[in-house]
Amino acid sequence: MLIILCLSLIVSASCLRPRIIGGEPTTIDKHPHQVSIHYNGKLMCGGSIISKQWILTAAHCVYGGRLQLFKVRIASSYHDEGGVLIESIDSIIPHEWYDDDTYDYDVALIKLTKPLSLDRNTKIITLATPSTSVKPGSTTVVTGWGKTSVNGASSKVLRVLMVPIIDQEVCRKIYARHRIVTANMLCAGYITGAKDTCQGDSGGPLVYNGVQIGIVSWGAQCASVGYPGVYTRVSAIRSWITKRANV
């Protein structure tokens, strides 16, 4: 059994970033790469379809978990019904350099036992490459079923939020007293708070112009003023994904 205690302002997404705060409801046909990941019957995280047999998510979403207790729901706007619930997982591969204290290399792959059948609600997302560059201020899209308020429950329906990319040096300075923002991370959100990802959104995709550039990872307490969300930078760990999943 995994027990996670959230005792400080700076925490993982699984503790305090499982929801979309300030976003709006959307439908899976608009984000057909999105999946929900469940552990022991409960919503754990989000993820994305990167091939017919591989799901991309955050390492902290699967770290220390038992393989047989994980399930993945695809092709549904709801995390608890509809679409297809995949109960047979072949393997889970967290990055071997993942650090549960710093959240560096916060990425994992889930291999499904059988290939997916693609349709309008089930599609593969294009991944950023090492040459992908997104300028600060660029508008990105993040989706998930996380909480819609700090003390609320997870959203039943998929939600979407538009967030701007934050300059890397600015983000490093913001978090300097709490945690290091490494080159494997990028930041997006509103310094003023009010809009952010939260518990349940972890592992989900951050998308720019149809390309996944980030994975929801960690940050301050949901929608905290002055603290943007921190994401795993896909371009920085792209070679690892290719090596492990041949994608």
Catalytic annotation, residues: 60, 106, 202
Instruction: List Cα–Cα distances, 113 to 42, 65, 71, 183, 227, in angstroms.
Output: 21, 18, 11, 33, 39
Element (H, E) at 216: strand 211-220
Phi-psi category of 62—alpha, beta or left, where left has phi over 0 and alpha has psi -120 to 50?
Answer: alpha
Chain centroid, CA 84 distance in Å = 20
187 CB-side CA count, 13 A: 24
- Locate all alpha helices (DSSP H) within 13-131, ordered by sequence: 13-16, 59-62
